[in-house]
Amino acid sequence: MRKTWLIFSQTVTVAVGVLFVVATFRPQWLSGWTSRQGLPVPTVLVAPSPAGSAASAERQAQTSFRDAARKAAPTVVSVSASNTAARQSRRSDPWFRYFFGDQESQPQSGVGSGVIVSPEGYVLTNNHVVDRMDDIQIMLSDGRKASAEVIGTDPDTDLAVLKVELDRLPAITFGSSETLQVGDAVLAIGNPFGVGQTVTSGIVSALGRNQLGINTFENFIQTDAAINPGNSGGALVDIDGNLVGINSAIYSRSGGSMGIGFAIPVSTARQVMESLIRDGQVTRGWIGVEPRDLTPEIAETFNLPLKEGVLITGVLHNGPAALGGVRPGDVVVEVASQKVANTAQLLNAVAALKPGEAAQLRLLRGGQSLTAMVTVAKRPKMALPAQAQQDDSEE
């Protein structure tokens, strides 16, 4: 009796095991048999095949940025730059040779990123990536390498345009930075730390960031997409893979990403790029004043009936503004019918004016509103300090 029971239990165990294996890997066999016997079909959870169902593919497409990355990534290049002239001048310095001997010195060098903006070979990058460099090389995502020529630079916005001679170049599609909203998803594409092309994702954290002391003209897109050293000059793209910004700077205490990165809007980048390609330089308006933001404390001190505007603390003698009747202590509220609420807006509004033309400024002097006609001059080139103070900018 005991032997019969042992055989029965083993048979049941083997049968249950076979049923489990069949139900897991070949449920259609069990389904066909149970349907013929009129039995209920057991429900088995089976992982989807690698191809996935249509619904699964649709859900994945909604949460994935692979299409945007596939579209934009080929247009982002790695930029390596070096200053061989610095090496030669150091080797020829007799004091250097006296103390250190005739040793080979490494040239100044840097690694950044760039974006191909036209099939003709124009590449947009940051000025600080190629500044004072005489040997610039770019590498495409397909492995091709080429030397690049600097077409023009604009230190005021930290932008530069390069030119390479290669065939079959992919070009990025320009998007619109004006339609961006806080919370929109974006991708940062570049070459961080020289490890190779990398794509990171995040959102638009803020818009119109200025007075950071990075550039003379600031209107940054802030994002939490990871941007690290080497990403400078790379692309910030929307979920359709269109260019909305040029990655430029980060806020960091460690040298790496802390979730606060800044990109130059594509509207600014495109305007500068077209000027550099057409003229080799960017021409901006200038009126010769020293501006300062109008704070509530200043407005109360001068008993001014407004909270927004730009206080003029200095006027260049015989400059355009002085000749137009602007005085220290005036508050500028409009430039060429465009309202200005702070120094950054005044800088941008004046820079957009065409040199040689007259522009109307609406001022508040004491409690009196008046207008001044100023003949705009060409903005002189100014050296931007390492830590520029926007309040000290002269316009």
Strand pairing report for 185-190 and 135-139: unpaired
Task: Could you list the beta-strand ranges (E) of the chain.
Answer: 76-83, 108-116, 122-125, 135-139, 145-154, 159-164, 185-190, 198-209, 220-223, 235-237, 243-250, 261-265, 285-286, 289-293, 310-315, 331-335, 338-339, 358-365, 368-375, 377-378
Kindly tell me the sign of the dihedral angle through the C-alpha atoms of 75, 147, 92, 98: positive
Residue type, 301: T
Reply yes or no on whether 317 is catalytic. Answer: no
From 78, 128, 275, 330, active-site residue: 128
Reply yes or no on whether 128 is catalytic. Answer: yes
Instruction: Please identify which residue in the block is written with the tokens 């061989």.
Output: 84
From 232, 248, 257, 393, active-site residue: 232
SS3 136: strand
* 351-359: long-range contacts, CB 8 A cutoff, minimum separation 24: 351/217, 351/284, 351/285, 351/286, 351/379, 351/395, 352/284, 352/285, 353/285, 354/285, 355/283, 355/284, 355/285, 355/286, 355/379, 359/285, 359/287, 359/335
SS3 28: helix
Q: What is each CA distance from 345 to 100, 251, 270, 293, 334, in whole angstroms?
A: 51, 23, 19, 10, 10
From 154, 156, 158, 238, active-site residue: 158
Reply yes or no on whether 232 is catalytic. Answer: yes
Is-contact 166 121, C-beta < 8 A? yes
Give dist(CA 337, CA 349) in Å, integer.
Answer: 10
User: Per the structure block, which two tokens stand in for 377?
Assistant: 């001059």
Catalytic (active-site) positions? 128, 158, 232
